[in-house]
Amino acid sequence: MSRIRRDPRAALRAVTVATAPRLRIDRAWRGDSAFANETVAAPVEVAPRPVTIADPDYLVFAIADAPGGALTRHDRQVLGAARLLDGGGKAAVVLLTPCAVAAGDAGIAGADRILPVAQGDAWDPEGMAEAIAASVEKYQPRHVLFCESADGGDLARRVAARLGEIVFESVESLSSRTAIRPSGARRRESRGEPQRLMTVAPDMIAPWRGAPHEVTPLDPAVPSAAPRGILCAERLAVDAAEIPLGEAGLVIAAGNGVTDFSGFLGLACALGATPGASRVVCDAGSLPRGMQVGASGTVLNADCYVAFGISGAPQHLQGIGQVGHVVAVNTDLHAAMIARAELAIVADAQAVMPALLARLGAKP
Partner 1 sequence: MKAVVLLSAGLHPNAGTPMPVRAELQAIALARGLGCEITGLHAGAKNPAIADCLGHGLASITVLAIGAEDDPVAALAAEITAQKPDLVLTARRGQGGSDTGLLPYRLARACGLAIAADAIALSKAGEGRLSVVQSLPRGGRRKLDLKTPALITVHPSAPPPRPFVHRERLAGKIEEKPGVREAVEATVFEDRPYRPRPKLIGDGGAAGSAEERLRAATEVKSAGGTLMIDPDPAEAAAAILDYLRAFRP
Ligand X SMILES: Cc1cc2nc3c(=O)[nH]c(=O)nc-3n(C[C@H](O)[C@H](O)[C@H](O)COP(=O)(O)OP(=O)(O)OC[C@H]3O[C@@H](n4cnc5c(N)ncnc54)[C@H](O)[C@@H]3O)c2cc1C
Site for partner 1 in 314-353 (CB under 8 A): 314, 317-318, 321-322, 324-327, 329, 333, 336, 338-348, 351-352
**Rounded to the nearest whole angstrom, what is the least distance from the CB of residue 348 to ligand X in the complex?**
4
**Rounded to the nearest whole angstrom, what is the least distance from the CB of residue 313 to ligand X in the complex?**
3
Q: Which stretch binds partner 1 (CB under 8 A): 106-114, 218-226, 253-261, 312-320?
A: 312-320
Residues that bind ligand X (CB under 6 A): 255-257, 278-281, 292-297, 309-311, 313, 315-316, 319, 329-332, 335, 348-350
Name which of residues 167 to 186 contact partner 1 (CB under 8 A).
167-169, 172-173, 182-186
CA atoms within 13 A on the CB side of 104: 0
**Rounded to the nearest whole angstrom, what is the least distance from the CB of residue 334 to partner 1 in the complex?**
11
Identify the helix (H) or strand (E) that includes residue 263. helix 261-271
Q: How many Å apart are CA 240 and CA 208, to the nearest integer?
A: 33
Tell whether residue 263 is a contact of partner 1 (CB under 8 A). Answer: no
**Rounded to the nearest whole angstrom, what is the least distance from the CB of residue 121 to ligand X in the complex?**
42
Number of residues binding to partner 1, judged by CB under 8 A: 96
Q: How many Å apart are CA 250 and CA 76, to the nearest integer?
A: 21
CB environment 278-315: b (16+ within 10 A), e (fewer)? bbbbbeeebbeeebbbbbebbebbbbbbbbbbbbbbee
Q: How many Å apart are CA 80 and CA 213, to the nearest integer?
A: 12
Gyration radius (Cα) of the chain, Å: 28
Of 119 and 318, CB closest to ligand X: 318
Tell whether residue 131 is a contact of partner 1 (CB under 8 A). Answer: no
Tell whether residue 260 is a contact of partner 1 (CB under 8 A). Answer: no
Name which of residues 230 to 259 contact partner 1 (CB under 8 A).
230-238, 240, 242-244, 247-250
Is residue 354 helix, strand or coil? helix
**Among ligand X, partner 1, none, residue 297 binds (CB under 5-8 Å by kind):** ligand X
Of 218 and 304, CB closest to partner 1: 304
Of 183 and 296, CB closest to ligand X: 296
CA atoms within 13 A on the CB side of 173: 9
Of 97 and 278, CB closest to ligand X: 278
Of 149 and 292, CB closest to partner 1: 149
Q: Which stretch binds partner 1 (CB under 8 A): 27-35, 46-54, 73-81, 83-91?
A: 73-81
Q: Which stretch binds partner 1 (CB under 8 A): 4-12, 35-43, 112-120, 159-167?
A: 159-167
Q: How many Å apart are CA 315 and CA 321, to the nearest integer?
A: 10
Of 93 and 282, CB closest to ligand X: 282
Q: Where does residue 304 fall: left (phi above 0), alpha (psi -120 to 50 degrees), or beta otherwise?
A: beta
- Report long-range pairs for 355-364 (Cβ below 8 Å, ≥24 apart): 356/267, 356/270, 356/271, 357/263, 357/266, 357/267, 357/270, 360/267, 360/270, 360/271, 361/270
